[in-house]
């Protein structure tokens, strides 16, 4: 893992007991990596079958977030709207999390993240926002990027845990900064997706096979992560939610982002045409109609 970008290089002792809330496409492989690295893992999910295979590998099953008492680090990997229900209890910081270091790895609004940080401060608890980039493929490979907001000291405490599933960790600033950075990442990602889809559709309409077009673009000035991973199976269902958060944040900041608004509409149109069938990308790539010799 590349060093955390907080300027100190100091590492503290690695934590050994890790709670993972949410054992879905991100949480399940992350919990697996933690077990492989020798950590004790307590897994929590509403679905009692989620991550069931990890119990044979030593994962302890918790019925809910209140079963995380005694953990050193807790990773919250649930859908964004559920994050507050995990971290807060009756509007106050959840007592079961007070003595552990909690990392919100889900993507949530920066304002909500700052509210959670404020609740943690009142309770004397430790909290970091640490949303993850590179999706479920990165989770399976263990090469995620964490964008961390909050205390640099707290980040150094959990470096050993992050090493289990991240190849890159960047400390981007104070409370909420990690979520702000993730919104910027998502804004650029979906803008790139929209432009690449339209560009390849143009190439095909003009008679250039998609595979040949991608091969030609990769060494060009148009190269991008979207092109580099064109054939990678993926599941990215959150386009509309991502863009909604970006637009709301820009409104709160008093910024006009006309291109982002257009991308939001383009993404909705792309979904309607089936390119994002069922809200995600399937094993046949980005689901644009293939030429006969590429089928």
CA distance 225 to 193: 10
Token pair listed for 37 = 């690295």
Q: Catalytic residue among 2, 98, 182, 268, which?
A: 182
**Phi then psi dihedrals of residue 222, to 5 deg:** -90, 5
Nearest to 287 by CA among 232, 217, 207: 232
CA distance 249 to 183: 9
Token pair listed for 103 = 């990392």
CB 166 within 8 A of CB 1: yes
Token pair listed for 176 = 């909420």
CA distance 30 to 18: 11
Nearest to 104 by CA among 84, 133, 125: 84
Tell me the β-bridge partners of 76: 21, 104
Nearest to 264 by CA among 193, 171, 166: 193
Rounded-to-10 torsion of CA 120, 158, 167, 103: -20
Mark whether 182 is an active-site residue. Answer: yes
CA distance 187 to 100: 32
Catalytic residue positions, numbered: 182
């Amino acid at each position: 893992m590349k060093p955390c970008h907080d300027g100190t290089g100091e590492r503290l002792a690695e934590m050994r007991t890790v709670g993972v809330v949410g054992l879905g496409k991100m949480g399940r492989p992350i919990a697996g990596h933690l077990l492989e690295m020798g950590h004790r893992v307590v897994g929590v999910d509403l679905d009692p079958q989620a991550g069931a295979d990890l119990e044979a590998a030593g994962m302890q099953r918790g019925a809910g977030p209140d079963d995380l008492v005694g953990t050193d680090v807790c990773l919250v990997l649930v859908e964004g709207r559920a994050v507050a229900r995990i971290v807060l209890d009756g509007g106050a910081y959840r007592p079961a999390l007070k003595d552990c270091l909690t990392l919100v790895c889900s993507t949530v609004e920066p304002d909500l993240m700052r509210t959670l940080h404020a609740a943690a401060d009142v309770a004397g608890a430790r909290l970091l926002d640490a949303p993850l980039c590179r999706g479920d493929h990165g989770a399976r490979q263990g090469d995620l990027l964490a964008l961390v907001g909050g205390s640099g000291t707290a980040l150094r405490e959990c470096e050993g845990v992050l090493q289990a599933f991240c190849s890159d960790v960047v400390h981007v600033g104070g409370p909420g900064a990690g979520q702000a950075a993730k919104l910027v990442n998502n804004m650029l990602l979906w803008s790139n997706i929209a432009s690449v889809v339209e560009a390849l559709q143009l190439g095909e309409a003009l008679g250039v096979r998609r595979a040949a077009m991608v091969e030609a673009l990769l060494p060009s000035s148009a190269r991008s992560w979207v092109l580099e991973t064109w054939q990678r199976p993926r599941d990215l269902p959150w386009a509309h939610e991502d863009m909604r958060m970006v637009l709301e944040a820009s409104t709160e900041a008093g910024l006009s982002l006309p291109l982002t608004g257009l991308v939001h509409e383009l993404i909705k149109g792309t979904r309607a045409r089936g390119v994002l069938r069922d809200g995600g990308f399937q094993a046949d790539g980005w689901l644009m109609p293939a030429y006969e010799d590429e089928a």
